[in-house]
Chains A and B, each alone.
Chain A
Amino acid sequence: MTDATSSLPRRAAKKPSRLAMLTTRFAENRLAVFGLFLVVLAILAALFAPWIAPQNPFDLATLDIFDSMLPPGSTGSENGLHYLLGTDAQGRDVFSSILYGLRTSLIVAFSSVGFSMGIGLVAGLSAAYFGGALDAILMRIVDIQLSFPAILVALVLLAILGQGVDKVILALIIAQWPYFARTARSAALVERNREYILAVRCLNLSAPRIIARHLLPNCLPPLIVIALIDLASSIAIEATLSFLGVGVPVTKPSLGMLISNGFEFLMSGSYWISLFPGFALALVIMGINLAGDHLRDILNPRNS
């Protein structure tokens, strides 16, 4: 708004229902809808992997060593399986491995984001509501942690904790809760001084009750966006860690580990072993970001 006199007034639209309006506005952006479609597709694929996958890549009995390193579109010599995306060095169907790898990646991402959001919310809302020393201490911890990249924190932790899906999740929770804590706190600081919070303080309700029933629901929208975006970065960090060999164990490969497994063959022409898991990873992350970015725009009160 630079031309002062021709600026358009911001008018409050008459809203029918908030959810209906958000849905409509979300659907207006095709890219975001496409992103959401990718995310839903990935979740369904991960959920139903055992039923969709032509082969259980971790059941050694179904593997055929003679089928190793087959290019995409080959047919298995004995079992007659159609290897849509080719096979790897052990003769595993790459398509099936991707479905199962997606499973591991998404489990790690969802559980780490879920827990770090929970911890971040409690810490951030309490810091904002009580202020004072609690706020100062919590926020110093957050500041210190945020001055290191999340991946570095996770890497160091895994070096100490060792390998394992649960360890990766724990490392990611510790690495990521400060983001939620900081966002929750800044949202809560704004809400805390709104009159409805003052009003319930007049009613002498207990602090936990005010935080849980009044502050939390009103601070959630920005956190949902952060959670979505964080989902993408969790997947990426986990993939990086697994690629580096400090993440998930070989028995439970994730997309990152699949990429790592095929890496050594990339130069020898068997590009598919790494490339297709890489595509899958990129598509999921892109989908989340497309949907998340648009969601952030429509949830931002300044844009509505």
Chain B
Amino acid sequence: MSTDMMSKETRDADLGAPVLKIEKLCTWFDTREGTARAVDGVDLELYEGEILGLVGESGSGKSVTGYSVMGLIDPPGRIAGGRILLDGRDLTRLSEEEHRRVRGKDIAMIFQDPSMTLNPTLRIETQMIEAVRAHEACSTAQARRRAKDALDMVGIPSPEERLRAYPFELSGGMRQRVAIAIALLNKPRLIIADEPTTALDVSIQSQIIYELQTLCRETGTAMIWVTHDLAVVAGMADRLAVMYAGRIVEVGTTKEVIEQPGHPYTRGLMGSVPMHETRGRRLARIPGATPSLLHLPQGCSFRERCALADKACTRMPELAQHHQAQSIRCWHPGETDR
């Protein structure tokens, strides 16, 4: 695989229309204390076979973005505005029944906890056959063959045996792989992986990353990989989007974002990763904690934790192009700490 990133122009020409296009998405939660704007004007694009890393601290709205695309927002949450176009079709206008047909067929989600997907009381095969037949009329035998192929694809040894197993008979890593196989069953156009490896050991994590990466390349499935750890997506994603307090604050090719991070928050996240180079030193932590969505500062939401903040930052910056495919929402993009 080439490590070169294609420039934006060639990419647009090569890849045609995006699989997923999110425009000005707003997902708000009406709570007793006020309206929490968990997702507030998010724009994202995703092309065939592309992997987008969606990065941010917990509470920044990554999962809610994913749930919005999946149509899993329940009251008190609501989609307050914007469009989610899957192959040009606006998902926000679908009825619950229409959404159900899209979910699991065209879009699949992998959760951090595989027990969100797996029913503990049913054999793996029962669940997988059901997931196939929910979207397609085919015989049990055909569905079972598909299930076995899917287990094969995610590198599960002796899939025939695993099909007969109950979820509790498998290890955590194996359960997550089964959940991934279920997501792949109906050859979705888009996979949303919400921190799928956060609870797993590094060896299993890297294997799952490898398998999903290969699958996306081979089948053309687009994937959003949600994580709080930049290191996890650095070697995998084609593009990265960094989220803070419900907004995208930086987006660009992985190379751009990792090698020349422009937003102070992105730089803070990178300085937080403990590794070889930081040995024996203090990590450049981001001061403070994620602000409550109900009490965001006026202007740039990151203002109160930012070393570069000045008067200009009391107005909300727009997401503006910084470098080729890289856009940054900051009044002082790319400036180093004063």
Contacts and interface: CB of A to CB of B under 8 A. Distances in A.
Contacts of A3: 104, 130-131, 134
A2 interface: yes
Interface in B300-316: none
A9 B67 contact: yes
B32 A5 contact: no
Contacts of A10: 116
Interface in A1-44: 1-10, 14, 16
A4 B74 CA distance: 18
A303 B208 CA distance: 32
B328 interface: no
Contacts of A14: 31
A4 B72 contact: no
Contacts of B186: 5
A4 B175 CA distance: 13
Given A9-B111, A10-B116, A2 B72 contact: no
Contact of B131 (A4, A8, A9): A4
Interface in B84-132: 100, 103-105, 108-109, 111, 116-119, 122, 127-128, 130-131
Interface string B30-44: 011100000000000
A2 to B, nearest CB: 6
A5 B109 CA distance: 7
A2 B182 CA distance: 12
A5 B182 contact: yes
B183 interface: yes
B127 A4 contact: yes
Contacts of A16: 32-33
B36 to A, nearest CB: 8
Chain B interface size band reads 20 to 34
Contacts of A2: 119, 122, 127, 130
A7 B108 CA distance: 11
A206 B120 CA distance: 39
B8 to A, nearest CB: 33
B119 to A, nearest CB: 5
Contacts of A1: 119
A288 B105 CA distance: 48
A16 B131 CA distance: 38
B103 A5 contact: yes
B293 to A, nearest CB: 10
Nearest to A24: B32
Interface string B315-329: 000000000000000
A10 B33 CA distance: 22
Given A1-B119, A14-B31, A16-B32, A6 B104 contact: yes
Contacts of B63: 9
Nearest to A10: B116
Interface of A: 1-10, 14, 16
17 contacts: A2-B119, A2-B130, A3-B131, A3-B134, A4-B117, A4-B118, A4-B128, A4-B182, A5-B103, A5-B105, A5-B117, A5-B134, A6-B104, A8-B72, A9-B63, A9-B67, A16-B32
Given A1-B119, A2-B122, A6-B104, 4 more contacts: A5-B108, A6-B103, A7-B116, A8-B72
